[in-house]
Amino acid sequence: MIRLFVAIEIDPQIRRRLSSLGATLPGARAVPAEQIHLTLRFIGEVEANLFHDVRERLHELQSQPLSLCIEGTGHFPPRGTPRVLWAGVRPAGDVMILRNRVNTVLSTCGIEPERRKFSPHITVARLKNSPPKRVADFLAGNALLKSPPFTVDRVNLYSSRLSAEGAIHRIEGSYPLTGS
């Protein structure tokens, strides 16, 4: 079984900035810079034959390149004890359209669309026993976070292997965004 997801790679300078941002809270485990990405679709565990089908079918993805920027911060869940700190992405609508196109391609492989609401974000840290006041201060202090725009000209298919140190991601395929 292979654990898969489709994601947008983030500009390396922005990844480093987001990773260091995630390390500023007590009880926060920052996402390492090399692991920071924007997930379009988590696929989950699949058999080898479906993995090969997904990897080939994603070549059918049709979309224009995007210009995105990182903007603002928040946490999940939105109510209750925060478990994840995230950075927002703008324009979110363009990311939603790209995600829908990824879902359309995946459906040709027999993968059902996710039922959960999609909220484009980049996870910057996972929280464990972080003081609520410090989380609130972090959010207030980073409410105006904004990166320069960066171009997204491809999406990647990643495999993810869980280890004691966290997930290890590997690019299994890269798909250029070149048209409609």
Could you tell me how many residues make up the chain? 180
CA dist 49 and 60 (Å) reads 18
Catalytic: which of 52, 59, 75, 121? 121
Q: Check if 121 is active-site.
A: yes
Strands in 121-127's sheet, in edge-to-edge order, are: 28-30, 121-127, 84-90, 66-76, 150-152
In the numeric block, the tokens 């250029």 are attached to: 176
Smallest CA-to-CA distance from 135 within 146, 143, 18 is with 143
Active site residues: 37, 121
